[in-house]
Amino acid sequence: MLKSALGVFFSLLVIAHAPIAQAKEPTTSSAKKTSATSKAASSAKNKQSKAVPRAKSKQSKAAPSSKRKTASKNTAAKKTAGKSSVSSKRVSSKSAKRSDAKTASRKASRSRSTSLNSDEKLVKKVVTVNGKKRVIYQRVARPVIPTVPPVMTAGDIAGLSMTRDALALASSVALVIDQSTSEVLFEKNANVTLPIASITKLMTGLVVVEAQQDMNEILEVTDADIDREKNSSSRLRVGSQLSRANMLHIALMSSENRAASALGRHYPGGLRGFVATMNAKAKSLGMRGTHYVDSTGLSSNNVASARDLAKLVVEAYNHPILRQYSTDSKYVVEPGGRSLQYANSNRLVTNPDWEIGIQKTGYISEAGRCLVMQTNINERPIVMIFLDSKGKFSRLGDAARIRKWLETTEPQNVARTHRRIES
């Protein structure tokens, strides 16, 4: 009974719970649906979330590759920069080494030069050692050059350079006279006998012209015409042939020594006879302090005073050929078929401000710079003599000072004495 009662009880219990189960089933299905929807959404999210990491993983994978590329580029750039920096460092190191080497060589040369004696010097030489060229420096004794004292002129020895004058002339001796009246306008040591150098050639020309020799005769330059007194040079070679006129022309205009020597040799009695005639002519002109030993003036034994030379200038002015030859500015001769152009040794002849009638220059170390000339100043014939002038152009400067003095002041003798040159 008990069994049957329990069975009935359980059956009733099952019947009582059955609607509840049926009522709960729709909720369960909706829940299932909701859960399915949520599951789908969550799965979609999961897919998206999975896709994002995948994309991120792809991006992350791609990023390292780009980073690797960039890194490789940077590495290459760094390597290139490193190479360039290394090369620049090498170049800079090389240049630094070179500069250091130059500095070292300069210091070495300085040290060498400072260690040299005053009579030594360094000589650079290139030698070959084991097939390689090397530069070495050797000490060499300097050549001993003898000191030659300046040659004093005869005027210096006589103390004439100490004489002062109102015009501050550079010449130790000066004389200015009026040619027409022989009146002395200016004088300075005019009576002192001194070497006259190539002023001698003016007497040479006077003797040649007054001897009336054939001016077209051909004269030849020989060894006898070579200057062994001063060892001066000449453009006329030994063997050169010129007419007597051309020889005289270049002797007076350009002071050609070999031409003057040839003129003296080609005279009756030779050079000795010629010199004798020169001295005789000087005596006849009243040139009491004058003496000649040759026809060139190279010897310092050819001497005269300024007063003597003024007389010579006045006498030589009387010969037109001497005036022309001494004042030509240029002249061309052809010894042996070759042309030689000579120029005047006095640049005043080319100056249009000067009207020079006759002139002659001269120079040897014992005589200094000399100049004699005749010129017109204010339409007045003036004879100027300058001996032992200091400086290459000082004699020309003295002539200009005398001219200015004559043009701007009343011609008065500086010594305030008026006298004529004695004949």
The residues assigned a catalytic role are: 198, 201, 255
Distances (CA, A) of 261 to 162, 226, 264: 36, 8, 5
Q: What are phi and psi of 385, to 5 degrees?
A: -130, 125
d(CA 303, CA 301): 6
| Helix/strand/coil for 129 | strand
Give every CB contact of residue 212 below 8 A, 6+ residues apart in sequence. none
Give every CB contact of residue 18 below 8 A, 6+ residues apart in sequence. none
Q: Which of 111, 194, 116, 125 is nearest to 372 (CA)?
A: 194
> Between β-strands 356-364 and 368-376, what pairing exists: parallel, antiparallel or unpaired?
antiparallel
d(CA 290, CA 134): 69
d(CA 423, CA 419): 12
| Helix/strand/coil for 384 | strand
Composition of the chain by helix, strand, coil, percent to 5: 50, 20, 30
CA dihedral 154, 158, 161, 162 (to 10 degrees): 170
Q: Which of 371, 375, 393 is nearest to 383 (CA)?
A: 375
Q: Quick one: tokens of 126? A: 């290139």
Residues 134-138: contacts with CB within 8 Å, 24+ apart?
137/109, 137/112
